[in-house]
Chain A
Amino acid sequence: MSGISKKLFEEWRELARKELKGKSLDNHFWNTPEEIKVMPLYTEEDLSALSEQKESLPGLEPFLRGPRATMYTNKPWTIRQYAGFSTAEESNEFYKKCLENGQTGLSVAFDLATHRGYDSDHPRVLGDVGKAGVAIDTVEDMKILFNEIPLDKMSVSMTMNGAVLPVLAGYIVAAEEQGVAQQNLSGTIQNDILKEFMVRNTYIYPPGQSMRIVSDIIAYTSKNMPLYNSISISGYHMQEAGATLTQELAYTLADGIEYVRAALSAGLEIDEFAPRLSFFFCTGMNFFMEVAKLRAARFIWAKLMKQFNPKDSRSLSLRTHCQTSGVSLTSQDPHNNIIRTAYEALAAVLGGTQSLHTNAFDEALALPSKLSSRIARNTQLILSEETGVTNVIDPLAGSYYVESLTKQVIDKTLSLIEEVEEMGGMTKAVSEGFTKMRIEESAAKKQARVDKGEEVIVGVNKYVNSNLNDKIELLEVDNEKVIKEQIKKLSKIKKERNNQKVAVSIDQLRKGANGKGNLLELSIEAIRARATVGEVSAAIEDIFSRHKAVSKSITGVYGAAFSEDKMYSETQKKVNEFANREGRQPRILVAKLGQDGHDRGAKIIATAFADIGFDVDVGPLFATPEETSKQAIENDVHVVGISSQAAGHKTLVPELIKSLKKNGGEKVIVVVGGIVPPGDIDDLKNSGVSAIFGPGTPIIDSANQVIDILLDKN
Chain B
Amino acid sequence: MPDLLKKKNLDILEKEFGTINKLSEQIISGDIRTLSRCITLSESSREDHQIFARAVLGKILPKTGNSLRIGISGPPGVGKSTFIETLGLYLLKKNKKIAVLAVDPSSAKSGGSILGDKTRMEKLSQSEKVFIRPSPAGTTLGGVGRHTREALLLCEAAGYDTIFVETVGVGQSESAVSNIIDIFYLLISPGGGDELQGIKRGIVELADLIIINKADGSLKKDAENIARDYSSAVKLLRPRFNNWVTKVLTCSALENTGIDKIWNSTEEFFQKFNKEREILNYRKDQYRKWLREEIIQNLNKQIYSSTKINGLIEFYENKVLVGDILPSDAAYEIVNNFLKK
Does B125 make an interface contact (CB < 8 A)? yes
Question: Chain B contacts of A663 at CB under 8 A?
Answer: 32-33
Q: Contacts A611-B107, A665-B33 known; A551 to B119 CB distance under 8 Å?
A: yes
Does A272 make an interface contact (CB < 8 A)? no
Does B118 make an interface contact (CB < 8 A)? yes
Report the bound CA distance from A607 to B110 in whole Å: 12
Does B69 make an interface contact (CB < 8 A)? no
Report the bound CA distance from A618 to B43 in whole Å: 20
From A126-134, A386-394, A461-469, A552-560, the one touching the partner chain is: A552-560
Mark contacts of A623-641 with chain B using CB atoms, 8 A cut-off: 1 yes-contact digit, 0 otherwise. Answer: 0000100110111100000
Docked-complex contact B118 and A610, CB < 8 angstroms: no
Docked-complex contact A610 and B116, CB < 8 angstroms: no
Question: Chain A contacts of B123 at CB under 8 A?
Answer: 548
* Docked complex: B73-124 residues within 8 A CB-CB of A: 82, 106-107, 109-116, 118-120, 122-123
Q: Contacts A555-B107, A635-B133 known; A614 to B36 CB distance under 8 Å?
A: no
Report the bound CA distance from A559 to B122 in whole Å: 29
Docked-complex contact A618 and B114, CB < 8 angstroms: yes
In the assembled complex, how far is the CB of residue A583 from the closest CB belonging to chain B, in whole angstroms?
A: 3
Mark contacts of A667-711 with chain B using CB atoms, 8 A cut-off: 1 yes-contact digit, 0 otherwise. Answer: 000000000000000000000000000000000000000000000
Does B54 make an interface contact (CB < 8 A)? no
Q: Which of B41, B49, B110, B116 contacts A613 (CB 8 A)?
A: B110
Q: Contacts A555-B107, A663-B32 known; A616 to B115 CB distance under 8 Å?
A: yes
Report the bound CA distance from A555 to B308 in whole Å: 40
Docked-complex contact B49 and A607, CB < 8 angstroms: no
In the assembled complex, how far is the CB of residue A663 from the closest CB belonging to chain B, in whole angstroms?
A: 6
Report the bound CA distance from A556 to B110 in whole Å: 10
Does B134 make an interface contact (CB < 8 A)? yes
Report the bound CA distance from A704 to B110 in whole Å: 15
In the assembled complex, how far is the CB of residue B219 from the closest CB belonging to chain A, in whole angstroms?
A: 12
Question: Chain A contacts of B114 at CB under 8 A?
Answer: 553, 555, 606-607, 610, 616, 618
Docked-complex contact A620 and B118, CB < 8 angstroms: yes
Does A28 make an interface contact (CB < 8 A)? no
Q: Contacts A617-B134, A636-B39 known; A631 to B110 CB distance under 8 Å?
A: no
Q: Which of A548, A615, A618, A621 contacts B112 (CB 8 A)?
A: A615
* Docked complex: A336-390 residues within 8 A CB-CB of B: none
In the assembled complex, how far is the CB of residue A123 from the closest CB belonging to chain B, in whole angstroms?
A: 13
Docked-complex contact A553 and B112, CB < 8 angstroms: no
Does A404 make an interface contact (CB < 8 A)? no
In the assembled complex, how far is the CB of residue A115 from the closest CB belonging to chain B, in whole angstroms?
A: 18
Q: Which of A550, A582, A584, A620 contacts B125 (CB 8 A)?
A: A620
Q: Which of B49, B106, B115, B126 contacts A617 (CB 8 A)?
A: B115
Question: Chain B contacts of A575 at CB under 8 A?
Answer: 110-112
In the assembled complex, how far is the CB of residue A556 from the closest CB belonging to chain B, in whole angstroms?
A: 7
Number of residues in B with C-beta < 8 Å to the partner? Answer: 36
Q: Which of B39, B119, B133 contacts A618 (CB 8 A)?
A: B119
Report the bound CA distance from A9 to B282 in whole Å: 83
In the assembled complex, how far is the CB of residue A429 from the closest CB belonging to chain B, in whole angstroms?
A: 15
Instruction: Specify the chain A residue showing the minimal Cβ separation from B107.
Output: A555
Q: Contacts A613-B111, A615-B115, A618-B114 known; A634 to B46 CB distance under 8 Å?
A: no
Does A585 make an interface contact (CB < 8 A)? yes
Report the bound CA distance from A550 to B116 in whole Å: 10
Q: Contacts A615-B136, A619-B118, A631-B125 known; A572 to B46 CB distance under 8 Å?
A: no
In the assembled complex, how far is the CB of residue A552 from the closest CB belonging to chain B, in whole angstroms?
A: 8
Does A549 make an interface contact (CB < 8 A)? yes
Does A113 make an interface contact (CB < 8 A)? no
Does B320 make an interface contact (CB < 8 A)? no
Docked-complex contact B44 and A635, CB < 8 angstroms: no
Does B19 make an interface contact (CB < 8 A)? no
Q: Contacts A550-B120, A633-B32 known; A627 to B112 CB distance under 8 Å?
A: no
Report the bound CA distance from A549 to B116 in whole Å: 12
Does B45 make an interface contact (CB < 8 A)? yes
Question: Chain B contacts of A613 at CB under 8 A?
Answer: 110-112
Docked-complex contact A556 and B107, CB < 8 angstroms: yes
Report the bound CA distance from A631 to B32 in whole Å: 11
Does A576 make an interface contact (CB < 8 A)? yes
Docked-complex contact A636 and B40, CB < 8 angstroms: yes
Docked-complex contact A634 and B115, CB < 8 angstroms: no
Please, could you name 29 A-B residue pairs with CB atoms under 8 Å apart, sorted by A?
A: A550-B82, A552-B116, A555-B113, A579-B45, A583-B41, A583-B49, A584-B40, A607-B114, A609-B112, A615-B106, A615-B136, A616-B114, A617-B115, A617-B116, A618-B116, A618-B118, A619-B118, A619-B119, A620-B119, A621-B119, A631-B125, A634-B36, A634-B131, A634-B132, A634-B133, A635-B115, A636-B36, A636-B40, A665-B33
| 7 more A-B residue pairs beyond the given contacts A584-B43, A585-B113, with a C-beta to C-beta distance below 8 A | A575-B112, A583-B46, A610-B107, A610-B114, A615-B112, A617-B134, A636-B40
Chain A residues with a Cβ under 8 A of chain B: 548-553, 555-556, 559, 572, 575-576, 579, 582-585, 606-607, 609-621, 627, 630-631, 633-636, 663-665
**Interchain residue pairs A-B with the least CB separation, the first 10:** A583-B44, A583-B46, A664-B33, A551-B119, A613-B110, A610-B112, A613-B112, A636-B36, A620-B122, A618-B116
